[in-house]
Structure 1
Amino acid sequence: MAAPLVNPTFDEIEEQDGVRFSWNTWPSTRLEATRTVVPISSLYTPLKERVDLPPVMYEPVTCKAPCRAILNPFCSIDTRGKIWICPFCLQRNPFPPHYKDITPTNLPPELLPKYTTIEYTLSRPAQVPPIFIFVIDTCLDQEDLDALKETIVISLSLLPPNALVGLITYGTMAQVHEIGYADCPKSYVFRGSKDYAPKQIIEMLGLSPSSAGATRPGGAAGPSATGPGGIRPVQGSFQASATRFLMPVQQAEFQLTQIVEQLTRDPWPVASDRRPMRCTGLAVNVAVSMLESTFPSTGARVMLFTGGPCTEGPGLVVGQELREPIRSHHDIDRDSVKHFKKATKFYEGLSKRASVNGHAIDIYAGCLDQVGLLEMKYLTNATNGFMVIADSFTTAIFKQSFLRSLAKDEAGFLQMGFNGTFEVMTTKELKISGVIGHVISANKKTASVGETEIGIGQTSAWKVCSLTPKTSLAVYFEVVTPAGQPLAPGANGLIQYVTHYQHASGQFRLRVTTVSRAFAEGGHPSIAASFDQEAAAVLMSRIAVFKAEIDDSPDVLRWLDRMLIRLCQKFADYRKEDPASFRLPEGFGIYPQFMFHLRRSKLERHVLNDADVNNSLIMIQPTLMSYAFDKEPEPVLLDSVSIRPDVILLLDTFFHILIFHGETIAAWRKAEYQNQEGYENFKELLEAPVQDAQELLADRNPIPRYIVCDQGGSQARFLLSKLNPSTTHMTGGTYGSGPTSGQAIFTDDVSLQVFMEHLKRLAVGASTS
């Protein structure tokens, strides 16, 4: 990897500021920027964990309207006159009175060069603690339901004691459980086949203004004016009446545990030729309606646990009769799916209502068959909710992924931010094209908004309903300086990222990162030397994934190929029409390889659009480690030649961790040599990849599928599908036929070598005949 012009490496910059740029020196004009092919863009991790961030317990100092940039180390300051000049708009601003002791040697943290990232703890606490609503499918097999109930009871002990919790169960009907009523179980039932308007739902629950203060259904007296946990409701009787359904964990844990433990399977009989009646759409609608009416614009999560497709009411994905098959990829491609458009529109509408209010929706699917995630994807994509797919709720993949989402930091707080807003500001030479990630537009038009749109654009602010320390947003920029308008020597551009969110402690926090990069004339070697090929590969893959939602897959692949060819034509050294002369600079060497593996990869788009650079690269180009006798474990080529009879391979695709035993190793293991005296080194060899695999599993979420297989075994397909097929059934080479040949892979895909040969020919303009 080419070293950037500044002293720190790309990784060190990421550790400090949580940001990686495609280019770390920027072209100075619009024309030159378009010629660099890969746009100026960054992957930014707002809640990147930093041990050295000082606690700042006061409000940030902002520039005058309309700029509103926040004081940062790049501001010019006059300590004698107590003024500072904003680098974004060049306005002069007075320091507030509490900065009266400022001197060149006594500066507040936000002006120190090492704190280009700083986090303010704002004085106004959140009026409502985080809210969690469990939405549980009861049409499950008994074993699955028992496992799910057990996991949910465990999760209650992981929530903050003051967090508000609620429970909705659904099958043929949807039931909202009144956990504030301790005398006997009580719930409000909604007919699964009916599509209720939000207003009807809140009226039936007694949450409307007319019924909230009145006697509640069933004759019980209405709640007091003080809300749960002593919180004075901002919505008056709206929130006060919700205390029946949403209560602090510390008050409701016993009651809620009892209700969950006593849950039984949906009693409605299911004929052998029919699917269970499952009103998933209605249940989610009830949860969203409850939250938007009682706690708008607050931190909340709706956690949906489903074991099959919606077969009843709004959001129906497939009919109840088994003879009606659930839609296939082929059906979707042909646009011949009976319920698809209507269901997608319904869930998209729900996601908009939730995301506008800062409410996240998680989907945990435990089912061997499809559950309709394609129709429901907007629920998680728009709100940055978790999406975990497991074969069953009894699996470790589900249990550990769900409980790991509730992990705590060293101070004992949940590692998640709620109800966030992400804003970006630029100096005049740059404009914002858009963001790709699980966000929605906040429709804020400022001088920083550009004309070109990449991802979600035409705004400089976005709503992010949920944030974790790994959540990363791709931000794309354009240079707007016209050609022929020279910049001052040593001119720099500035970008400020501002993230406002509700911390799990109940405080509002403001994370501010301000970064500066130099401009250079087009063609200057510093631009090529500043290329971060890892970040660029991830940023281009996000564009490809965004395009794939709109365009056909072949069109997206052709776009990726065109971009790669243009990049090579711009930065490689070659003689025209001479492929043998083609040479890429050092800092571009593995970029084509990333693109080759990206074209072949089957990514989970939801996870890629939230992941940081390192995790995204593992998804694009999995890592492969080789373990052999008398040598240290080493990374090897993701290639069929790496398969050997006397080695063990450890594959990490992010979604799978696979240990693959070569033919000889597998035979020895089956003969149990590892348990015999004198074979201690063989035992150690078998254990080494297992220990390394456990380390990889330690902090990954969702939990990868863990596979142990042998050469020739059926599960070896998970490895073979990821390898570069340099030896195939078409090449004539077979396993063991030469000193460098590996296992033949049965595929029609071209190998990396063939891909590179084609790339060189196209880049240099040679004939491809």
Structure 2
Amino acid sequence: MNYQENENQNGLRHSFNVLPSNRLEASRLVLPVGALYTPLKPVTNPLVLKYDPVFCKGCRSILNPYCRPNFQSKTWDCPICQARNMFPPAYHGCSETNAPAEVLSQYTTIEYELNRPPGNPPIFLYVLDTCLPEEELSLLKDSILMSINLLPQESLVGLITFGTTAQVYELGFAECSKAYVFRGDKSPTHEQVQDQLGLRSSTFQSQPANPQSNLQGNINPCTSQVASRFILPLSHCESMLTTIIEELQVDPWPVKPKRRFRRCTGVAIGIATSLLECSFSNSGARIMSFLGGPCTLGDGQIAGLELTEVIRMHNDLRNDKAPHFKKAVKYYQNLTQRLVQNGHCLDVFAACLDQVGVAEMKSCCENTGGVLIITDTFENEIYQESLKRLFTTNEGNLTMAFNATIEVQVSQEIKICGAIGPLTSMNVKNNHVSETELGYGNTNAWKLNSLMPTSTIAFYFDIVNQTTNPGSPFRFFQYLTSYQHPSGYFRLRVTTQYLRWVEGDQNLNEIKVGFDQDAAAVLISRLSVFKAESEYLFDVLRWLDRSLIRLVTRFGEYRQQSADGLALAPNFSLFPQFMYHLRRSQFLRVFNSSPDETAFFRLWLNRENTFNCILMIQPTLHSYAAGQAYPMTVQLDSVSVRPNVILLLDTFFAVVVHHGEQIAGWRKAGFDQKPEFAYLKELQEQPVKDAQQLMEGRFPYPRFLECDEGGSQARFLIAKINPSVTHHTSSYNASPNANNTVVLTDDASMQVFMEYLKNLAWESRT
């Protein structure tokens, strides 16, 4: 099975698909042994079994196609821990010709619909910023009403607005709009929120508006009150909710000239957390916050009221000159712990020309699986389309999962170092947890409060076998993902995978053939970004460079006895390019990016699937020219930028159509409007059509740009290409009128980078 087939069938990619047999040989691989797993990946052979799985009594793994069933003795042997288990009575009718689906070879990924009462429908608690200009508030209200129309009618919804104060709306009060007001200068405690909302009053008697809650047996009185007053089924309160949103006004607190709005963002999110915590703990819920500016009041404050106080930048954080940063980060990290514990996630939709504090609150999104979107205005197509696509449905259900956990079981020769993705450690340990920690480690189980179809987790493993073991040539991995389906039912997805192992030095070629450079690049990229959060960039880049040099030294071949004779196998040849572009990317280089933008880019790199992550690291570039039947894939290099071609650049976050100087001149002269030059019109329309196809279905919605060579927005292309021709190169100094585009940069080109790599690898080898 090749890499793409394995990903389509199981949602799995491995950096090394053939493993060395002991720790010493594994250390010579240089790169980490790891896997990229997409829990909600639509698989090739989907199957949902409506009964509970069969667990191994030894390691708690689940019956799978790699077990050894004996239908005569009604037993099966676990491939992970080798324990022998009895089939339960329900399986006693099974035989070789009537085997259960779990042991069939095509079902290496299978789902169970657990025999548990369904939970609450999905909960969406809107938290809206009203410190906005009138036009922006109107756009925000329109988009919120649009999103409400996309929600299933059984969804539970609530509303909180904030400005100088925070208001919690009682949607169950049908007579008029009724809200409970909280001070914005200090975050109330969990108990204070309950007291002010009257949730701990024994005199309040009401039946829960959510009929599903009756299935849970004993009903929490607080849940009953919230479900009848503040968070109701959309079908019960849609009219009231729509009226309240339509009547929202700009925050009435006066704003003096040259001052910012008094905005209590952190307090409002804290109140939303407390409201869900006391009523819908361990139920799938999204706190959807819509922010129009920085928090200037109360907990979570990132800036003062005076406009003369510039919002912190990377230099301020590096030099410890951001007075609000550490306190705000600590506040949001405490909120994150509460959100994780209760199975809720925070979405942030920020629309402002300045920063809003995403860098401080990123843990609330990153560790809960929440969505993060940053734009300049609520009118922006990026915001509008991303919000719409968040509520995409499949067969009548939202394409998202709630309140999930993922557990990994491995063979005894393997240990788990950690994971990186939209998750938090559950601090659950077993004998397969490694002392080496990479990412969120010291556990074999993680919490994922929200999952999307492309949410992908990076797992890192350690081979601990000290000597070559001549036993079974296979080592097994099993991923157990339990989650709440949007329908309310609880499901368990089980993916079982095996990798073959060999004695390293004697079978090095087999290990080389099993190398997946795309998966390895994503694994190392996530690890470098994780390191960059707590280490100096210089140290991270040195670690990347040393790893690349050691990898090339280990797996490169020298056809001549010199550095110029270096040759890499095809499945290694692109890896140095990935590392070159990663070093120059916005994920590591923070120059010309705000802390909010850096947090945004890193969050999406740490959660998207392999294809999308590679696209972020090394964008694709296509060229369109007159007389050319099809677009050509060209190098991401300055030599590809020519006056007579149109380029289509896809960076995942942006899609750019770049017109060469000659093409732009023809368009400005109106040649494309003349019948005899119809091919020019078709030439200019085709890249735009292809760009629309690239953006179709992508989440978050990318920025679309059309620009001309030499224009201001051409910088989006120039910043991504390899600067093979710069103002420093001799070819430019010799012939400045050449057709090659000159990139004004002091960065080393890929050619220089590769020359240094060859020389250093040769020196290490000799």
Q: Which amino acid aligns with 1:720?
A: I
Correspondence for 2:730: 732
Residue 458 (1) aligns with residue 451 (2): no
Residue 482 (1) aligns with residue 474 (2): no
Correspondence for 2:362: 377
Secondary structure at the residue paired with 1:733? Answer: helix
Residue 605 (1) aligns with residue 602 (2): yes
Quick one: distance in 2 between partners of 1:535 and 1:144? 42
Residue 51 of structure 1 deviates from its aligned partner by 5.2
Q: Which among 279, 282, 285 is matched to residue 300 of structure 1?
A: 285
Correspondence for 1:331: 316
Secondary structure at the residue paired with 1:455? Answer: coil
Give the alignment of 1:459-608 within 5 angstroms: 459-483=443-467, 485-488=468-471, 491-523=473-505, 524=507, 525-574=509-558, 578-603=562-587, 604-608=601-605
Secondary structure at the residue paired with 2:408? Answer: strand
Secondary structure at the residue paired with 2:393? Answer: coil
Residue 100 of structure 1 deviates from its aligned partner by 2.1
Residue 403 of structure 1 deviates from its aligned partner by 1.2
Residue 125 (1) aligns with residue 117 (2): yes
Q: Which amino acid aligns with 1:91?
A: A
Secondary structure at the residue paired with 2:731? Answer: coil
Task: Give the gaps of 5 or more residues in structure 2.
Answer: 588-600
8 Å contact from structure 1 (residues 40, 476) kept in 2: yes
8 Å contact from structure 2 (residues 364, 370) kept in 1: yes
Correspondence for 2:597: none
Residue 129 of structure 1 deviates from its aligned partner by 1.4
Quick one: distance in 2 between partners of 1:486 and 1:741? 61
Task: Give the gaps of 5 or more residues in structure 1.
Answer: 1-7, 216-221
Residue 733 of structure 1 deviates from its aligned partner by 3.1
Residue 195 of structure 1 deviates from its aligned partner by 2.6
Quick one: distance in 2 between partners of 1:325 and 1:44? 41
8 Å contact from structure 1 (residues 28, 487) kept in 2: no
Correspondence for 1:218: none
Residue 229 of structure 1 deviates from its aligned partner by 3.5
Correspondence for 2:83: 91
Quick one: distance in 2 between partners of 1:681 and 1:741? 23
Quick one: distance in 1 between partners of 2:565 and 2:728? 29
Q: Which among 49, 61, 68 is matched to residue 54 of structure 2?
A: 61
Correspondence for 2:171: 179
Quick one: distance in 2 between partners of 1:586 and 1:395? 42
CA deviation profile, 1:48-81 (whole Å, cap 9, x unmatched): 01253123111111111x5111000000000111
Residue 323 of structure 1 deviates from its aligned partner by 1.7
Residue 141 of structure 1 deviates from its aligned partner by 1.1
CA deviation profile, 1:263-321 (whole Å, cap 9, x unmatched): 01000110112100000000000000011111111110000100001000111110111
Q: Which amino acid aligns with 1:214?
A: T
8 Å contact from structure 1 (residues 736, 742) kept in 2: no
Residues 1:430 and 1:342: Cα distance change in structure 2 (over 3 Å): same
Quick one: distance in 1 between partners of 2:61 and 2:484? 21
Residue 346 (1) aligns with residue 331 (2): yes
Q: Tell which deviates more after alignment, 423-432 or 569-578.
A: 569-578
Structure 1 residue ranges, 4+ long, deviating more than 4 angstroms after superposition: 735-741
Quick one: distance in 2 between partners of 1:736 and 1:137? 58
Correspondence for 2:380: 395
Quick one: distance in 2 between partners of 1:127 and 1:531? 43
Quick one: distance in 2 between partners of 1:100 and 1:740? 79
Correspondence for 1:33: 26
Residue 108 of structure 1 deviates from its aligned partner by 1.7
Residue 127 of structure 1 deviates from its aligned partner by 2.8
CA deviation profile, 1:562-587 (whole Å, cap 9, x unmatched): 10001011111138982112111222
- Identity among equivalent positions (%) equals 48
Residues 1:18 and 1:269: Cα distance change in structure 2 (over 3 Å): same
8 Å contact from structure 1 (residues 143, 394) kept in 2: no
Secondary structure at the residue paired with 2:13? Answer: strand
Correspondence for 1:435: 419
Residue 106 (1) aligns with residue 98 (2): yes
Correspondence for 1:5: none
Secondary structure at the residue paired with 1:294? Answer: coil
Quick one: distance in 2 between partners of 1:766 and 1:166? 62
Residues 1:393 and 1:599: Cα distance change in structure 2 (over 3 Å): same
Residue 214 (1) aligns with residue 203 (2): yes
Quick one: distance in 1 between partners of 2:239 and 2:326? 42
Correspondence for 1:636: 634
Quick one: distance in 2 between partners of 1:448 and 1:741? 59
CA deviation profile, 1:523-559 (whole Å, cap 9, x unmatched): 2110011000011001100100110111011111111
Q: Which amino acid aligns with 1:173?
A: T
Quick one: distance in 1 between partners of 2:359 and 2:476? 39
Residue 641 of structure 1 deviates from its aligned partner by 0.0
Correspondence for 1:231: 213
Quick one: distance in 2 between partners of 1:736 and 1:702? 45
Residue 741 of structure 1 deviates from its aligned partner by 5.6
Residues 1:26 and 1:51: Cα distance change in structure 2 (over 3 Å): closer
Q: CA RMSD in A?
A: 1.7
Q: Which among 133, 136, 139 is matched to residue 141 of structure 1?
A: 133
Residues 1:456 and 1:497: Cα distance change in structure 2 (over 3 Å): same
Q: Which among 192, 195, 209 is matched to residue 203 of structure 1?
A: 195
Q: Which amino acid aligns with 2:183?
A: R
8 Å contact from structure 2 (residues 479, 494) kept in 1: yes
Residues 1:531 and 1:740: Cα distance change in structure 2 (over 3 Å): farther
Correspondence for 2:680: 682
Residues 1:342 and 1:235: Cα distance change in structure 2 (over 3 Å): farther
Residue 189 (1) aligns with residue 181 (2): yes
Quick one: distance in 2 between partners of 1:605 and 1:611? 11
Give the alignment of 1:707-722 within 5 angstroms: 707-722=705-720
Correspondence for 2:353: 368
Residue 739 of structure 1 deviates from its aligned partner by 11
Q: Which amino acid aligns with 2:380?
A: T
Correspondence for 2:155: 163
Residues 1:238 and 1:12: Cα distance change in structure 2 (over 3 Å): same
Q: Which amino acid aligns with 1:250?
A: S
Task: Give TM-score scaled by structure 1 length.
Answer: 0.95
Secondary structure at the residue paired with 1:447? Answer: coil
Residue 438 of structure 1 deviates from its aligned partner by 1.4
Quick one: distance in 1 between partners of 2:114 and 2:209? 23
8 Å contact from structure 1 (residues 192, 279) kept in 2: yes
Task: Give TM-score scaled by structure 2 length.
Answer: 0.96
- Number of aligned residue pairs: 747
Residues 1:434 and 1:740: Cα distance change in structure 2 (over 3 Å): farther
Quick one: distance in 2 between partners of 1:325 and 1:581? 54
Residue 126 of structure 1 deviates from its aligned partner by 2.9
Quick one: distance in 2 between partners of 1:659 and 1:730? 28
Secondary structure at the residue paired with 1:179? Answer: coil
Residue 99 of structure 1 deviates from its aligned partner by 1.3
Quick one: distance in 2 between partners of 1:28 and 1:125? 45
Residues 1:740 and 1:100: Cα distance change in structure 2 (over 3 Å): farther
Residue 125 of structure 1 deviates from its aligned partner by 3.3
Correspondence for 1:664: 662
Q: Which amino acid aligns with 2:393?
A: K
Residue 202 of structure 1 deviates from its aligned partner by 1.4
8 Å contact from structure 1 (residues 383, 439) kept in 2: yes
Q: Which amino acid aligns with 1:196?
A: P
Quick one: distance in 1 between partners of 2:134 and 2:280? 34
Residue 184 of structure 1 deviates from its aligned partner by 0.7
Q: Tell which deviates more after alignment, 569-578 or 282-291.
A: 569-578
